Amino acid sequence: MAAQRLTATPTPGPGEGGEERRRESDLEPMAPSEEPLLASAAAATQQAEPPPLSTWRLIFINSFFLLSAAPLYLVQGVLLPAQVAAAVPRAEQDVALGLCSAIGSATQLIQPPVGALSDRQGRRRPWMLLGQFLCAAGCIALLLARGTWQLTAAFTTFMLGASISWGAYMCIVPEYVPPSQHGAASGMLGLMVQGGQAIGSGVGYFAGNGGL
């Protein structure tokens, strides 16, 4: 009986077998049950990104800042100094302008709380309407004010309304604009604010030269 030849099968080293098994597992086909999950995840990712807005839509969304910045700079740069010169004694005019400017700037601190409250309520328009109402009331009171404290109260009301409406409307831009267009929307916002400043200053200049 012929002697059987025994051949030793080489055993993989400590790192060789695990590495080969990992390479084989990477080449294994995907399980059928995993394909629908990946497809649904990809569909959810596509649905999370809304379609891009047109340039005209971006202009329309940011037009509020143009329409509110123009009267804001008109009141700050033209109406307030004119009313101070007409209703405040000459010795108190510098104090009145400084007081109005300081308190009016401090009202901008209300914007973060207004934004947080509108987030909690899930509503922006009531805050925007409240701000515009205060702006109109403050502007009328500014025209009728006599004396430093009346002018200060009227201008504070106007600036408080502007800060409330701006704090609420600033939340609308990221809600309606896709993340891929946030940069374009921010640039459009800055352009609208500068345009409103130019319009307000231009109207004030021509009104002053015309004696209005």
Q: Is 66 in contact with 195 (CB distance < 8 Å)?
A: yes
Q: Is 115 in contact with 131 (CB distance < 8 Å)?
A: no
- pLDDT beneath 70: ranges in the chain: 1-49, 207-212
Whether the predicted model's global pTM rises above the 0.95 cut: no
Write out pLDDT tens, residues 136-166.
999 899 888 888 888 999 999 999 999 998 8
CB atoms within 10 A of CB 82: 16
pLDDT at 161: 92
pLDDT at 35: 52
pLDDT at 2: 46
Q: Is 168 in contact with 124 (CB distance < 8 Å)?
A: yes
pLDDT at 189: 85
Q: Which residue has the tokens 């959810």?
A: 44
Q: Is 172 in contact with 61 (CB distance < 8 Å)?
A: yes
First to last CA, the chain: 128
SS3 86: helix
